[in-house]
Structure 1
């Protein structure tokens, strides 16, 4: 009965004018309720086939218009299929997926006044690209071409106005060896959606090769992504936007400093970089120590890993105001769990660090920021950017320049298909969205894997490898010596200390050959000219 009542309220709310929605919103809030408790409704499909974009899609549309050739927002995955493959069943399976998920049949167009809308097509011309490499002699040569073809599929830009925004390629290496490559544009998908695509492809393919005449027996989707976009806009515009925006503007503040990571090479004006990755794993003993420390402080592993990253950025830049972007799945509503679409949201977690404060204090602040963000997770990041109006630049992303992405190890294992085995194939990283991203995964077996994804034209591999070692040193301190201050944690290992000593010895020998060291010269000048200006900083002088 309660479900029926809330549904009726949601239906009535959807039919109100914007002014009436704001009035109802205030009444519901006064009773201690929130519109977020009410269901997302499926829209009337007899209405026009176009509707507003979600706020996240609006930003993707804006970015695509700035640079239609960019591949930074492509989501790619590849599976190696070994065994007898039924190509017709593969085609039919993806046809069923495209028909099931409206996002895969959606294109975008500009309206008068610069606005945009998404257009949902009843059907689209979709086909799988078949590439046959079987005639290439030599396995090594085929593997090289395989990677080239996979990257060609992944790196070919999408046209958001024509679609389709799903691209599937099947690369044949041998009669019983194939590679399946799936590429989508972020405006219609996210990482969670890629898992849905894989799971449902497995179900559809299995049904067909086992003789089913129709699609796999999947539960009907309660809503589609366009329904979510309408619900999101109605809810936020009724007043929820102002409530959550109040928290975020207070948390972020009015100044928007740019993180100045010391780079090996000059930054590009257009901000376009290819991506590279340095992977490493946290030792088992360290993971246990971090978990124990976090639990003792009422925190989570995510929070303590974030705290360590914030300290690392502080130590590398010397900046106290550290801002890190954190993606969240935004799938906390049951209606959206199985829907392909761009649900993921980004939160900005801020910490103002002092070199004299303890690591325990940094962890406490990371915990506070994470809990506050969780309580205000529905505000689209794009709305925060619009409200704060940071200075725009192609060379840097707004509000933050680094990201931390932590995932739990509850991913489904790849199901085996009749007559086939499937293994994931790493396509590698193509374009870097940010200068630096820390990815960590908390696996079901207790392992914690990590990697730094970085702008390859900015940083040398050995620089990022050294950074990973320093991050581990900070995590060791958080686990074992949390009373240490931020500035006292030793980052350098024995090899790095030895290198510094060698450089120091070389410098001393050079100084002895050219005269007094620099500090002695400064002292002499100060004694000879005590009234002269020594330092100038802005409007201040000393």
Structure 2
């Protein structure tokens, strides 16, 4: 079948119940005044002779191929949201001559609200700087995407563009399932989810709901639909963390989680730390090529009691992480409902987040163009502090998001520098106890930020 023609969908693929990730983001959308914290912006800086018709057709190829990009979320007859897939229609790519600051225009485009009941969950705009320079901006609502899916979108968009430019038929491999198939499958998993839920209830029993991380300003007590955020980026040496993995039989994620928890615990004066982390949520290889929101959340509890050595801490983290992975399928919202949720404006179970991107982004190539993914400005965040890490050769790229109503940039930089110092000291001697790993602020390596 030609990829530019709509593949026939079964009745079950045209409408149905929300998946649990969709349900989670629908609730956030409904009760947080359409916060742009749940928008996923992507910007490509394109240099060269751009074919706007080919780009428009490439975008249509994606919306035809992935029915989730044609999905609306109206309220159904029972008073609950349902997912309804629309027909594939011609794609409109608004093209505007650049007038003013490009980043200000892109920020406004990313922050514009979605009406998920009637609007498509994806919108695009093309900004023209000159005949040979453009910015393609795509904003998706998180209800239809995650980091894995965003990478799929970029790879398929650039591939389809090149094929259209060359006059070739799109050659993307056929999809055997659509997102609605996954959503229905999730709703059949009550029994295995119940078993996993019992694990999380036992694991999180008695866990602190408040990390107590010292802040530069008092935490607002009122509910905030939009949490102001900022993002800063640096890089730290990868060797200390990698040496720890080789010497302790742990993974890179386990080492980073142990270090992050130890530093947070020290700052907060805690011996019991809970950190949120994402998992892909794709248990079936058939859904690997799909765009959609599959991501699930794990609440990773780390026991720092008894002043363990670094090696002992890593052993604890390794055991807890392996058990968490064995029970990663149950939707996090069900864990929240079972364990309990705060109502004082703080995030349930944890206020800090750690994400490791294990697979580096593949280079983007478009026929006749130089392509660069431009960094989007973060103006809203979901957590007090978030560490995103990406292996890049002998470095770890570290992107830190933080709540600007709570923290000054200097404080967040200090947290990252302490994290880097902890990894270095831990790798030098894994038999040292946590209390022995102290690095005076004056001796912290000053990282280069951007």
Same-fold status (TM-score > 0.5): yes
**1:228 corresponds to which residue?**
182
Report the Cα distance in structure 1 between the residues aligned to 2:218 and 2:125, rounded to whole angstroms: 37
**Cross-structure match for 2:395:** 447
Q: Cα deviations across residues 147-171 of structure 1 (Å, max 9, x unaligned)?
A: 1111111110111101111011100
Q: In structure 1, how many angstroms separate the alpha carbons of the residues matched to 2:247 and 2:283?
A: 27
Residues 325 and 400 of structure 1 are in contact (CA less than 8 Å); yes or no, is this contact kept in structure 2? yes
Partner of residue 202 from structure 1, selected from 145, 151, 158: 158
Which is further off, 472-481 or 269-278? 269-278
Deviation at 1:49, TM superposition (A): 2.9
In the alignment, which of 380, 383, 386 is matched to residue 437 of structure 1?
A: 386
Q: In structure 2, what is the equivalent of residue 258 of structure 1?
A: 210
Match of residue 116, structure 1, among 62, 65, 81: 81
State the secondary structure of the residue aligned to 1:449.
strand
SS at match of 1:98: helix
Q: C-alpha deviations, 1:55-100, integer Å up to 9, x for none?
A: 1111111111112331111111111000001111111111121111
Q: Indicate conservation of the 8 Å contact 2:208/2:273, yes or no.
A: no
Query: Is residue 469 of structure 1 aligned with residue 417 of structure 2?
Result: yes
Shift of 1:43: 11
Deviation at 1:367, TM superposition (A): 0.9
Cα drift, residue 387 of structure 1: 1.8
Note closer, same or farther for the CA distance 1:292–1:495 as it changes in structure 2 (3 Å cut): closer
Q: Deviations over 1:289-316 (max 9, x none)?
A: 3322222211012111110100011101
Deviations 1:110-136 (A, max 9, x none): 235542211111235742222212xx5
More helix by share: 1
Q: How far apart are residue 355 of structure 1 and its match?
A: 5.7
Alpha-carbon distance in structure 1 between the residues aligned to 2:408 and 2:400: 12
The secondary structure found in structure 2 opposite 1:111 is: coil
Of 90, 101, 104, the residue aligned with 2:66 is 101
Whichever of the two has the greater Rg, that structure is: 1
Q: CA 1:74–1:48 in 2, change beyond 3 Å: closer, same or farther? A: closer
The 3-state SS of whatever aligns with 1:339 is coil
Deviations 1:245-288 (A, max 9, x none): 121111111454211111111222224322222322223xxx32
TM-score between the two structures when normalised by the length of structure 1? 0.77
Structure 2: which 5+ runs fail to align? 1-6, 445-450
| Greater alpha carbon shift after TM alignment, 115-124 vs 88-97 | 115-124
Matched, 1:337 2:288: yes
Structure 1 residues 409 and 230: alpha-carbon distance in aligned structure 2, compared to 1, 3 A threshold: closer
1:185 counterpart = 2:141: yes
1:390-432 CA distance string (max 9 Å, x none): 2334x211111100001124321112x2221101111121211
- Does the alignment pair 1:277 with 2:231? yes
Structure 1 residues 480 and 454, CA gap change in structure 2 (3 angstroms): same
1:199 Cα shift? Answer: 1.1
For 2:358, the equivalent position in structure 1 comes to: 408
Check 1:495–1:295 CA distance in 2 against 1; reply closer, same or farther (3 A cut).
closer
Note the aligned Cα RMSD (angstroms): 2.0
1:261 counterpart SS class: coil
Q: TM-score, normalised by structure 2?
A: 0.92
- More deviation, 338-347/448-457: 448-457
Q: Deviations over 1:212-254 (max 9, x none)?
A: 3x4x1111111111100101111x12x1011111211111114
Deviation of 1:210 after TM superposition, in Å, equals 0.9
Aligned residue pairs total: 436
Q: Which residue of 2 aligns with 1:3?
A: none
Cα pair 1:354 1:486 within 8 Å, conserved: no
- SS of the aligned residue for 2:73 comes to strand
Q: 1:376 aligns with which of 324, 327, 330?
A: 327
Deviation string 1:464-519 (CA, Å, 9 cap, x unpaired) is 111112111211222112222222321323368xxxxxxxxxxxxxxxxxxxxxxx
Q: Give the deviation of 1:184 after TM superposition.
A: 0.3
Cα distance between partner residues in 2 of 1:247 and 1:266 = 35
Cα separation, partners in 2 of 1:482 and 1:69, compared to 1, 3 Å: same
